[in-house]
Amino acid sequence: MATHTHHDTGGSNAGDLADLERIACELAVQAGRLIVDERPRGLGVAATKSSDTDVVTVMDQRSEAFLHERLAELRPHDGLLGEEGAEQRGTSGITWVVDPIDGTVNYLYEIPAYAVSIAACIGEVPGGAWSTVAGAVYNPITGELFHARSGGGAFLRRGDHEESLSISTERELARSLTGTGFGYDAEWRGEQGAVVARLLPKVRDIRRIGSAALDLCFVGAGRLDVYYESGLNPWDQAAGQLVAIEAGGVVQGRGDDAPGKDLVVAGPAGLVADLKDVLQM
């Protein structure tokens, strides 16, 4: 499957999808408030460097535990997959894929670009073919809530204001603001750096915002023309992928592969094709 189009909603009807989207939105906002409101005083770069127990990890775990608990109440038959280890098979065909804090390094440094990402998925997640049918990504600092459901369009809500999103109309890679990110493994970063060095002269500029979930939503909002990254896990990308697609974009992997750990490229179809050509050089 070359591109996720999300027309197959796994037998769910529009009403079900609207419910899933509403739950994703509510829980993303609640968990987002939790990580801000309950952030330990004095949590900062210096504090974490001197201790073995990573305070960020503690907040990650608390956010995931909250989501786990709420989803078990609201959707007892669904499965769950979370970055902090939650993995539960369900019987409904829906699996919730959650990133309790995406952009943890930004969270640590108080750079206002982190988010809670919640997606309702169908298929074999993480190992097989899967896709997202509803999702939400919430940045608790800017108050921006990005959300989408399959076939329903992509939206950005801030307070009482809601706007529908559409991707960039840029057609030239040379004029494209290109988002990317890097993994945590040093050796892998070396290779990722070499790819960026080759790409940088061919695009308008590069952004490394630090949250893959927000990067994908920014593609949906046209704040990035195009985005690529290798090494992402399902929770980093599940909700953001749907926002990018419902805003008119395509999300692809390498060659004809579905997007996955190997590669995710998101944006307008033409830019995605041109960027993939450069990445495969």
Q: Quick one: which of 161, 133, 137 has its CA closest to 12?
A: 133
Q: Which residues of the shown chain bind ligand IPD in the complex (CB under 6 A)? A: 99, 102-104, 181-183, 210-212, 229, 231-232, 236
Nearer to Ca ion, 16 or 102 (CB): 102
Task: Provide the minimum distance between the beta carbon of 152 and Ca ion in the complex, in angstroms, as a whole number.
Answer: 25
Sign of CA dihedral 217, 3, 64, 188: negative
E strands along the chain, which residues? 79-82, 87-88, 94-102, 115-123, 130-139, 144-149, 154-158, 161-164, 177-179, 205-207, 226-229, 250-252, 264-267
- Contact yes or no for 94/122 (Cβ under 8 A): yes
Q: Which does 182 bind (CB under 5 to 8 A by kind): Ca ion, ligand IPD, none?
A: ligand IPD
SS3 225: coil
Q: Smaller CB distance to Ca ion: residue 178 or 237?
A: 237
Between residues 111 and 273, which has the closer beta carbon with respect to ligand IPD? 111
Looking at the DSSP bridge assignments, the partners of residue 119 are 97, 135
211 binds, among ligand IPD, Ca ion, none (CB under 5 to 8 A by kind): ligand IPD
To the nearest whole angstrom, how small is the minimum distance from the Cβ of residue 148 to Ca ion? 18
Min separation Cβ 100 and ligand IPD, Å: 8
Query: Residue 152: which of Ca ion, ligand IPD, none does it interact with, CB under 5 to 8 A by kind?
Result: none
The distance of closest approach from Cβ of residue 117 to Ca ion in the complex, given in angstroms and rounded to an integer, is: 7
99: contact with Ca ion by CB under 5 A: yes
How far, in Å, CA of 11 to CA of 213, rounded?
Answer: 26
Please report whether residue 84 would count as binding Ca ion according to CB under 5 A.
Answer: no
Q: Judged by CB under 5 A, which of 78, 84, 236, 274 binds Ca ion?
A: 236
Return the axis-axis angle of helices 212-221 and 234-246, rounded to nearest 10°. 0
Using the rule CB under 5 A, give the single segment among 33-41, 170-178, 234-242, 270-278 that binds Ca ion. 234-242
Closest approach of ligand IPD to the CB of residue 240, in Å: 9
Residue closer to Ca ion by CB (options 21, 102) is: 102
Which residues touch 93 (CB under 8 Å, ≥6 apart)?
10, 11, 122
Which of these, 86, 90, 149, 95, lies nearest to 122 by C-alpha position? 95
Angle (CA) 178 183 188, round 5°: 105
Cβ nearer to Ca ion, comparing 130 with 173: 130
Q: Closest approach of Cβ 272 to ligand IPD, in Å?
A: 18
Minimal distance, residue 212 CB to ligand IPD, in Å: 3
The residues that touch Ca ion, with contacts defined as CB under 5 A, are 99, 102, 236
